[in-house]
């Protein structure tokens, strides 16, 4: 009938859905409800031996405005929110910096990466994250090696992907595991004709 409906108002036909934590109407106190949901979520959080947390990371509020637009708000328990707001280096930032370094370098190198990281982070933060930085460098190095291997195999075939995609992929399927063929195709599409 063209109306917006919440997940609890429709027949889901047995399809699993996220846990529904509540329903607010105009006039309800959203701040109090937010606090109650955060407490429920926090009660599910357990500290693990590896300094990580397990439990419900958070919830998403779908708010329907008077104009029938949907706005999403994240609701995280305190312990999870503290991690998200914690200062310092994170893996995503290091990975992005590794890939950015490749714009001017052939391979990621700790010294050059460290100089880039020092633009945003202190030496103490970098030193404390060294093990993770090394792991990121190793991962990017492995990705580059795999890319080179794929491109070498592709160029060895002598057929362009845009000329005969089926033959190219069939020939490469004998060289790479089936589970990696989508990645192989992406690498060839992106870097094969450069």
pLDDT of 102-137, one tens digit each?
888 888 899 999 999 998 888 998 998 898 899 999
- What is the predicted pLDDT for the residue at 170? 95
- The token pair at 64 is 């329907």
Q: What is the pLDDT averaged over residues 136-153?
A: 94
1 in a structural domain: no
Domain C-terminal end among 30, 59, 85: 85
Q: How far apart are the first and last CA of the chain?
A: 51
Same domain, 112 and 186: yes
Q: What is the model's pLDDT at position 12? A: 79
Which is it for strands 46-47 and 53-54: parallel, antiparallel or unpaired? antiparallel
Q: Of 85, 113, 134, at which residue does a domain stop?
A: 85
d(CA 82, CA 57): 12
Structurally, the chain folds into a number of domains equal to: 2
Query: Quick check: is 14 in a domain?
Result: yes
Residues 123 and 172 in one domain: yes
User: Taking a C-beta distance cutoff of 8 angstroms, is the pair 87, 124 a contact?
Assistant: no
140 SS3 class: helix
Same domain, 39 and 64: yes
Residues 177 and 96 both lie in one domain:
yes
Query: Six-digit token pair at 105?
Result: 């370098």
Pairing relation of β-strands 70-75 and 59-64?
antiparallel
Tokens 């060289």 label which residue?
175
Is residue 127 in some structural domain? Answer: yes
DSSP character for 175? T
Mean pLDDT along residues 142-171: 94
Which residues neighbour 93 within 8 Å (Cβ) at sequence distance 6 or greater?
120
Angle at alpha carbon of residue 136, lines to 132 and 140, rounded to 5°: 170
- d(CA 93, CA 184) in angstroms, rounded, equals 26
Tens-digit pLDDT profile for residues 45-71: 988 887 788 888 888 887 777 787 777
Residue found under tokens 């328990």: 77
Is residue 108 a contact partner of residue 102, using CB atoms and an 8 Å limit?
Answer: yes
Residue ranges making up the domain that contains 15: 7-85
Same domain for 100 and 46: no
pLDDT in tens, 69-106: 777 777 888 888 777 656 678 888 899 999 999 888 88
The answer to whether residue 4 scores a pLDDT higher than 70 is no
Same domain, 97 and 58: no
Q: Judge whether residue 188 has pLDDT over 90.
A: yes
| Same-domain check for residues 106 and 40 | no
Instruction: Name the domain boundary from 85, 103, 136.
Output: 85
The reply to whether 2 falls in a domain is no
Residues 70 and 123 in one domain: no
**What is the per-residue pLDDT across 13-30, written as a single tens digit (0 to 9) for each?**
888 877 778 778 778 888
């Amino acid at each position: 009938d063209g109306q917006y409906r919440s997940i609890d108002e429709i027949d889901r036909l047995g399809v699993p859905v996220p846990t529904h934590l509540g329903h607010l109407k105009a006039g309800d106190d959203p701040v109090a409800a937010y606090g109650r949901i955060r407490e429920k979520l926090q009660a599910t959080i357990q500290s693990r031996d590896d300094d990580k947390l397990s439990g419900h990371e958070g919830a998403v509020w779908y708010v329907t405005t008077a104009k029938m637009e949907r706005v999403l708000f994240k609701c995280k328990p305190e312990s999870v929110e503290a991690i998200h707001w914690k200062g310092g280096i994170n893996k995503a930032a290091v990975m992005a910096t590794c890939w950015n370094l490749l714009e001017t370098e052939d391979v990621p190198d700790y010294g050059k990466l460290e100089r880039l990281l020092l633009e945003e982070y202190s030496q103490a933060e970098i030193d404390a994250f060294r093990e993770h930085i090394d792991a990121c460098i190793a991962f990017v190095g492995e990705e580059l090696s795999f890319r080179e291997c794929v491109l070498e195999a592709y160029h060895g075939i002598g057929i362009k992907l845009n000329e005969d995609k089926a033959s190219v992929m069939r020939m490469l399927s004998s060289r790479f595991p089936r589970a990696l063929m989508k990645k192989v195709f992406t690498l060839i599409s992106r870097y094969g004709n450069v």
